[in-house]
Structure 1
Amino acid sequence: MNNLKTHYTATELANLSLACLPNTRQGVNHQAKKQFWIGRKRVGKGGGYEYELASLPRDVQDEIKQKLAVSVMTKPKSEVVTKPVNIDELTDKQRAIADARMAIVAYVKQLEQLHVRYKAIQYFCEQAKQNTLPEHVQELVNIANARNKDGKSNRTLSTRTLNQWVLDYEKCKTPAERLQRLAPLQRREKELNELVWLPHFLAVYRNTNGVNIAEAYTQYISQAAEHYADQPYMLEILPSLSAVRRGLKKLNPYMRAIGRKTGAELRALNTYVKRDWSVLRANDVWVGDGHSMKMKVAHLEHGRPFIPELTLVMDTASRFIVGWSVSLAENCLAVADAIRYGVEKHGIPAIYYSDNGGGEKNWMLDADITGILPRLGINHQTGIPGNPQARGIIERVNQTLALRIARQFATYHGTGADRETVRKTSTAVISLDKALRDGRTELTDKQQWAKGKLPTWQQFIDAVQIGVDWYNNEHIHREIGMTPARKRQQLLNDDDIIRVTPIEARDMFRPQVLRVAQRGWVSLFNNDYFSQRLLDVDGEKVVVAFDIHDANSVIIRKQDGTYLCEAIWNGNKRAAFAETFVDKARKERHQRRMKLKQEQVDEIRAEANPVITIEHQPSTDLLHGLNQVIKQKNEERVAILPSELEYQRKKAMGA
């Protein structure tokens, strides 16, 4: 018996085993005739007769209702509804709800000592409905119902639900099983493979122009409406904008960025290999990198404000900065100077690790015969272009040390600097520089305020040296737990250090190139060098070693490294004085800058003076056609050539 009915047959009443009625069909029919029950013919298969519940005696009605209540309380739910969840996937909210339900079951168990179970359940539910339970027990009911986000609900606890909790609790033998059985089912979100629309949306969303989700969704819906114009069902199941946002959240940041970001910015979201530098010894691996300073200093040559470049070389095992150099821009000279500084003071490393930029990977450092690093026996390893994560150890130093140096000066314009102060300082320094170059004696208040704000080149170099000393000797490095100088001292073994003498260093760090000897001469950077010994290797390639600051002579060696001679600059027809490599590099840099500026000037002029085209006249040009018209009208001919113009002038003068 599941539900209370309005009519019952004699067989149904007999099967209920009521105390106030006979247990046979004949006995029930006899009582019906005797007490004048109201009945009707039974509708359906089998026919027969059934009696109205309201016409039965009151005690019979009450007992039928009581029987129905007991059956409702004791009947378990189907196994499909009570299917247990995976205990390893339970959330904190599911565990809290299961704990509250088990606590309520424990209270019902205590009430069973005073009443039968169904009465204990009815009593508890009635008290919960009237909100007369103790405060902490009433809170358990709110949590156990689990109807909204905060665990509270105005919906009361039903006897059927509570009875099911009691039955589930008794079926389990261990606390883990009870937790699993009483935990509510979690709403299952769709998996990525179920989002059939996602690939089509990503085809629109993955755009390097950075379109947002709403813009991409509008374009996606427009394309889908056109594609599924004859398929109404497909149009109905298209996702909403909210569904698209939820679906994209299922993708990790790297998957979302594919097609929208490239290069180092995309690789920064992906996993990476973390290098263990602790297994190395001192001078095993050096790593170097150039960094544009977030400040301006006075240019070494013309004194105008510019942004300098700082090149650092670090010993990876100890984090000790072994060499540094400053320059006007990242180039091979700065890198070579930083390596020279480190080698002269701290020995030759086994490996030098750098990026693949123009300042690092070039003929001066890496050429097989003439490169500085091969001559020193240093293995040069380079990283992937645009992948600074591989050299994070030196990139972090730029954040720690370079910013510390730059923040000492008023011209700092990096992270944390006030934008308004940066603007005022920059304009004031430029204004002061222009006034000094113009030779003005009276300065404005703004220009007076700018005095001393722009550091000199020497002040910048001194600050770098102080910063490097602080980093090596005072800074406690987080990864090694001590100063780099102390760590290097622990790892240092004098027997492993390969040192060079000053004379060897001078020779080693002379850049070298291959040139062909021709009748006692070699040409280098628009300079000609002569030695009688060059006749012995006439027509052969020789190694020319030069000093970047002194162009008066070069050292000539054979390709196997054998010293040949020192060639002297003489008879140069192209310049009055020998042009040094530094001068040549500076001149090329100026030419590149001038070319860039000239292109900008040409563009501005083109915008101001647009070209007006005249349609070409077949067989003759426009002016000759005009002359023909003038001749027909007996008018003055238009002068085209200088001779015609002179003729007309003489004619006008009567000559």
Structure 2
Amino acid sequence: MNGQTYFTAAELAEIAKTGGLMNFPHTKQGVNALAAREGWNALPSSRKRGGTKGGGGMEYHFQVLPEALQALIAGLQIKAGLIARHDLEAERDRRQLAAIRTSALSAEARAAMDARAEILLSIDGYAISQGKTRAWAIAQFLDALTAFVTRQVVEQRRDAGEILTDREATSLTVPLLLTSQDGFHLDPARIAKANDRSAAPVIKRSALYEWFKARDERGVIALAPAATKEVQPIPAAFADFLKFYARPSKPTIADAHGEYLKAAAAVDVLQRMPLTLSQVKYILRERMNNIEKQVGREGLLTLRSRLAYVTRTTDDMWPTTIYTADGKTFDAEVADPVTKRPIRPEITTVLDVVTRKVVGISLARSENQRSVAEALRNACVASGIPAIFYVDRGPGYRNQALDADVSGLMGRLGITKMHAAPYGSQAKGRIERPNATIWDTLAKRFTTYIGADMDKEAGQKVHKITRRELKEFGESRHLPTWEEFVRLAWAMVEEYNNKIHTSLPKFEDPQSGKTRHMTPNEAWAAHVAAGFEPVPVDQAEVDDLFRPYEIRTASRSEVQWNGNKFFHEALEAYHQKKVMVGYDYHQADRVWVREFDRDSGQPGRLICVARFGGNSERYVPLSFEHAAIENRAKGRLRRLDAKREAIEAERDGLLQIEFEGTEVADFIETAPTPEPAEVALVINNASEAPPAVRRRVFASDADLAVWALANPHEVSARQLEVLRDCMARSNARELFRLSGVDTEALRTLLRAAA
């Protein structure tokens, strides 16, 4: 009615009736009669009603109507305008509320809502394009969906190699109504998404009608899947269960739940009801993440490996800014350079953090201050002195030789040492990964590899062969020599430094013209080309700079170190004064004596090189390395003595067990012991005695070895056994060498006899 100016007789009658206007007809016939009496039909403002449905009736202009009716219509029009504006505002508010609700939906629910809206819009569009009803379009959609599912089954059979019927083969050439542009033009993935809880592209007829009804009544927001029920808090009783589950021994859920029920049964029955096994499994599976469920079962270090981490960048750094180092026990056995016994060397690797280049290594028996110092020495001499030395908290990096203010390597070289945070091994990944890349790869190239990837049967076979050869010959040809190991280790470092590293920048390869990542050597060369210059070590000071120094007091031209006294005339002027004594790990016959600079705490001017002159304890100088080896040997012998004493005590205890004799029961018949018969010895002096065989006697094992090499075909099994026993002992082998026995030829003889 809002803005309407012409009215029919029926509309005027309805308006008068609804408004309660008593002086105006309330029926169509009455209004027509009034219009005939008043002559409204002949007025220019009146007009025939248009359209066939109007029946040719008259429409009367607002101005010809009585004033009372005009006032009533004007009031109704104002009211209709207010209602329309109210409805418009209500619709706007409803849309805003729907937008808020939509934004509050989860991504999964919003995707399902959009997919359902797309399907309903496609069905309505297909119905309009075909001039049919919605119900007809729904039926067509369901048929198209069934045809699509059938097509999928046929295609799967075809891909599996099955033979199709003619009808099935023909059906594959027919366009699908569900996906074609002339049909519903829908992606099957959208249908699967609309199912929300099912991944299959199938929708029921009832679901479609429910979606249409919900959309028409409440808008698109009503198509969103119903929210699941509110998540309930975890029961307080679950904390009691965790007391038995959150343990480092990692008990199973069933075992921890059983212990929890036993503890709950001992509590008053009025306490909270215990959780069932199903409830406990559900909470662990659905309500707790992988970190929460492992608290108490794993240590802090393991838990940190599951947490977020910060990536550190070195884009604005020069090489030698940071060196990092770490030690690794080699996963293969090599021959000890002295004893020839199998050992697993300890390798210390120094890496430049910026370029990922391995700048130095050391090969030793354990990760100690000497191996760390040697690796740092190699790195500084070859590539330059670093500003920061970033290492872990192992014993090789926390000692006086490195940290002392007076004589420590860090202070003398001006290097700042940084230790990795406790439980922060992830921060040292840049050195841990090369350790695995270089040394694990090299270890697997040896037949004596004993890592986790080694086949158990093959490893046991190699172990038996090497131990048998060590027992028989004192060494094994299957063990790589120390010299071979050192050569291959440095070759492996060079191979790593020339290998492409994905964490380094990319550049255009000048040979292939393709873009690839740099190698560590190429990254180092790129920095040099950009103006980088390392801080070098003066070649004239290389040895002394890395030589450890200790403070000693000179006395009567002598200084003492490692139990040895060293003499030089120049020390006479420094009697009872503090000096700094530098020593070499391998040269025990001399020490380097320097003045003690009290201002800097560092070694000063070189006074002299003092020589070993006299020692009340030893007549042969005892080097640092030999002293350590001797102390270790003494310790091993003490442990062997203690073990032998324990074995003998156990044996003596068994021999002291008393044995009580028992009498034979009187019901057992015992046979008398037969008397031995006399044997007559008949000597026939007429017969000739067989010639006596003389056994060859040797004055020493060395004489036996010399004779065996000269007469290999006459050596008996017992003599071979004696020689194998000698070759298995280091002192016997040394005696053979001093006696002029060719031990290599003897080993060859013993191997051939075996």
Aligned mate of 1:265, from 290, 302, 310: 302
* Correspondence 1:398-417 to 2 at 5 A: 398-417=435-454
Is residue 531–residue 568 contact of structure 1 (8 Å, CA) maintained in 2?
A: yes
Is residue 238–residue 280 contact of structure 2 (8 Å, CA) maintained in 1?
A: no
1:507–1:154 Cα change, 3 Å = closer
Deviation at 1:501, TM superposition (A): 2.8
Is residue 326–residue 431 contact of structure 2 (8 Å, CA) maintained in 1?
A: yes
Question: 1:482 corresponds to which residue?
Answer: 518
CA distance in structure 1 between the partners assigned to 2:454 and 2:651 by the alignment = 38
SS at match of 1:310: strand
Is residue 189–residue 201 contact of structure 2 (8 Å, CA) maintained in 1?
A: no
* Correspondence 1:159-308 to 2 at 5 A: 161-162=210-211, 164-168=213-217, 171-172=218-219, 178=220, 180-188=221-229, 190=231, 194-227=234-267, 229-231=269-271, 234-235=272-273, 238-241=275-278, 243-308=280-345
1:570–1:230 Cα change, 3 Å = same
Name the aligned partner's letter for residue 489 of structure 1.
Answer: A
* Correspondence 1:84-95 to 2 at 5 A: 86-87=102-103, 89-92=105-108, 95=111
1:314–1:84 Cα change, 3 Å = closer
Deviation at 1:536, TM superposition (A): 4.5
1:127–1:157 Cα change, 3 Å = farther
Question: 1:618 corresponds to which residue?
Answer: none
Aligned mate of 2:346, from 309, 313, 318: 309
Count of residues paired in the alignment: 503
* 1:99 is aligned to 2:124: no
Question: 1:558 corresponds to which residue?
Answer: 595
Is residue 513–residue 543 contact of structure 1 (8 Å, CA) maintained in 2?
A: yes
Q: Taking every aligned residue pair, what percent have the same amino acid on both sides? A: 26
Question: 2:527 corresponds to which residue?
Answer: 491
1:125–1:362 Cα change, 3 Å = same
Deviation at 1:499, TM superposition (A): 2.0
Deviation at 1:396, TM superposition (A): 0.7
Name the aligned partner's letter for residue 361 of structure 1.
Answer: R
Q: Any unmatched runs of 5+ in structure 2?
A: 1-97, 149-177, 179-183, 505-516, 598-602, 655-754
* Correspondence 1:46-65 to 2 at 5 A: none
Deviation at 1:411, TM superposition (A): 0.9
Deviation at 1:413, TM superposition (A): 2.1
Deviation at 1:286, TM superposition (A): 1.0
Is residue 145–residue 151 contact of structure 1 (8 Å, CA) maintained in 2?
A: no
Question: 2:364 corresponds to which residue?
Answer: 327
CA distance in structure 1 between the partners assigned to 2:423 and 2:193 by the alignment = 56
* Correspondence 1:469-618 to 2 at 5 A: 469-472=494-497, 474-480=498-504, 481-492=517-528, 496-534=533-571, 536-560=573-597, 561-562=603-604, 563-591=606-634, 593=636
CA distance in structure 1 between the partners assigned to 2:336 and 2:553 by the alignment = 38
CA distance in structure 2 between the partners assigned to 1:211 and 1:270 by the alignment = 23
1:145–1:465 Cα change, 3 Å = closer
Q: TM-score, normalised by structure 1?
A: 0.67
Is residue 100–residue 143 contact of structure 1 (8 Å, CA) maintained in 2?
A: no
Please tell me whether Structure 1 or Structure 2 has the larger radius of gyration of its CA atoms: 2
CA distance in structure 2 between the partners assigned to 1:597 and 1:464 by the alignment = 35
Deviation at 1:544, TM superposition (A): 1.4
SS at match of 1:324: strand
SS at match of 2:583: strand
CA distance in structure 1 between the partners assigned to 2:198 and 2:448 by the alignment = 54
Aligned mate of 2:471, from 434, 437, 440: 434
SS at match of 2:354: coil
Deviation at 1:249, TM superposition (A): 4.9
1:140–1:262 Cα change, 3 Å = closer
Deviation at 1:245, TM superposition (A): 4.4
CA distance in structure 2 between the partners assigned to 1:533 and 1:406 by the alignment = 51
Is residue 123–residue 138 contact of structure 2 (8 Å, CA) maintained in 1?
A: no
SS at match of 1:325: strand
CA distances 1:308-345 after superposition (whole Å, capped 9, x unpaired)? 11111111111111111111111111111111112222
1:565–1:244 Cα change, 3 Å = same
CA distances 1:159-184 after superposition (whole Å, capped 9, x unpaired)? 9735523424xx54xxxxx2x43121
Is residue 145–residue 153 contact of structure 1 (8 Å, CA) maintained in 2?
A: no
Is residue 545–residue 555 contact of structure 1 (8 Å, CA) maintained in 2?
A: yes
Is residue 263–residue 386 contact of structure 1 (8 Å, CA) maintained in 2?
A: yes
SS at match of 2:552: strand
CA distance in structure 2 between the partners assigned to 1:348 and 1:412 by the alignment = 35
Is residue 205–residue 213 contact of structure 1 (8 Å, CA) maintained in 2?
A: yes
* Correspondence 1:139-150 to 2 at 5 A: 146=195, 149-150=198-199
CA distance in structure 2 between the partners assigned to 1:350 and 1:154 by the alignment = 68
Name the aligned partner's letter for residue 187 of structure 1.
Answer: T
Is residue 244–residue 260 contact of structure 2 (8 Å, CA) maintained in 1?
A: yes
Deviation at 1:155, TM superposition (A): 6.9
Deviation at 1:524, TM superposition (A): 1.8
Deviation at 1:516, TM superposition (A): 3.5
* Correspondence 1:433-472 to 2 at 5 A: 433-437=470-474, 452-472=477-497
CA distance in structure 2 between the partners assigned to 1:270 and 1:596 by the alignment = 46
Name the aligned partner's letter for residue 585 of structure 1.
Answer: A
Question: 1:650 corresponds to which residue?
Answer: none
Q: TM-score, normalised by structure 2?
A: 0.59
Name the aligned partner's letter for residue 468 of structure 1.
Answer: V
CA distances 1:566-593 after superposition (whole Å, capped 9, x unpaired)? 3332221212211111112323444555
CA distances 1:470-517 after superposition (whole Å, capped 9, x unpaired)? 112x20111112111111111137774222233311111111122344
1:111–1:342 Cα change, 3 Å = closer
Name the aligned partner's letter for residue 459 of structure 1.
Answer: E
1:505–1:188 Cα change, 3 Å = farther
RMSD: 3.9
SS at match of 1:550: coil
CA distances 1:58-81 after superposition (whole Å, capped 9, x unpaired)? xxxxxxxxxxxxxxxxxxxxxxxx
Deviation at 1:452, TM superposition (A): 4.0
Deviation at 1:291, TM superposition (A): 0.9
337-346 vs 556-565, greater mean Cα deviation: 556-565
SS at match of 2:309: coil
Deviation at 1:299, TM superposition (A): 0.7
Is residue 289–residue 355 contact of structure 1 (8 Å, CA) maintained in 2?
A: yes
Is residue 147–residue 153 contact of structure 1 (8 Å, CA) maintained in 2?
A: no
CA distance in structure 1 between the partners assigned to 2:640 and 2:427 by the alignment = 36
Q: Any unmatched runs of 5+ in structure 1?
A: 1-81, 173-177, 439-450, 612-655
SS at match of 2:266: helix
Aligned mate of 1:384, from 401, 410, 421: 421
Question: 1:372 corresponds to which residue?
Answer: 409
Is residue 548–residue 581 contact of structure 1 (8 Å, CA) maintained in 2?
A: yes
Is residue 116–residue 223 contact of structure 2 (8 Å, CA) maintained in 1?
A: no
Is residue 128–residue 141 contact of structure 1 (8 Å, CA) maintained in 2?
A: no
